[in-house]
């Protein structure tokens, strides 16, 4: 599991790679939350392009970060999920909560 966060013009992009399950979601969650609370970006895009596996733990991760971004006055976006990950996102109806690009 790897995470690489970059800020460009006030908007942040967090590029994730590896697998998201219950085991490694904890670490991701802590790292993303630390960034959101300290940097307070207006927009945060989580790029799923490098994610090779995700189960429903990823749904909890997205929903939790979306809530925290809202509380901090910002907005979360999900980018580049592979078709298979899109199916998991669709099942959860996540597109009603965050934008998926």
Q: Are 20 and 53 in contact (CB under 8 A)?
A: yes
Q: Can residue 57 be called a binding residue for another protein (CB under 8 A)?
A: yes
Tell me how many residues contact another protein (CB under 8 A). 20
Choose, by CB under 8 A, the member of 19, 31, 43, 77 that binds another protein: 19
* DSSP string across 26-66: HHHHHHHHHHHHHH--SEEEEEEEEEEEE-THHHHHHHHHH
Q: Can residue 60 be called a binding residue for another protein (CB under 8 A)?
A: yes
By CB under 8 A, name the binding residues for another protein: 19, 21-23, 25, 29, 53-57, 59-61, 63-64, 84, 88, 91-92
């Amino acid at each position: 599991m790897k995470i690489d966060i970059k800020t460009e013009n006030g908007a942040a992009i967090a590029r994730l790679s590896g697998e998201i399950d219950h085991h490694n979601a904890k670490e991701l969650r802590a790292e993303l939350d630390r960034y959101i609370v300290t940097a307070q970006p207006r927009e945060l895009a989580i790029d799923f392009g490098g994610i090779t596996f995700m189960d429903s733990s990823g749904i909890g991760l997205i929903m939790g970060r979306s809530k925290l971004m809202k509380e901090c006055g910002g907005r979360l976006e999900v980018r580049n999920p592979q078709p298979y990950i899109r199916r998991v996102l669709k099942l959860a109806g996540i597109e009603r909560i965050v934008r998926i690009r």
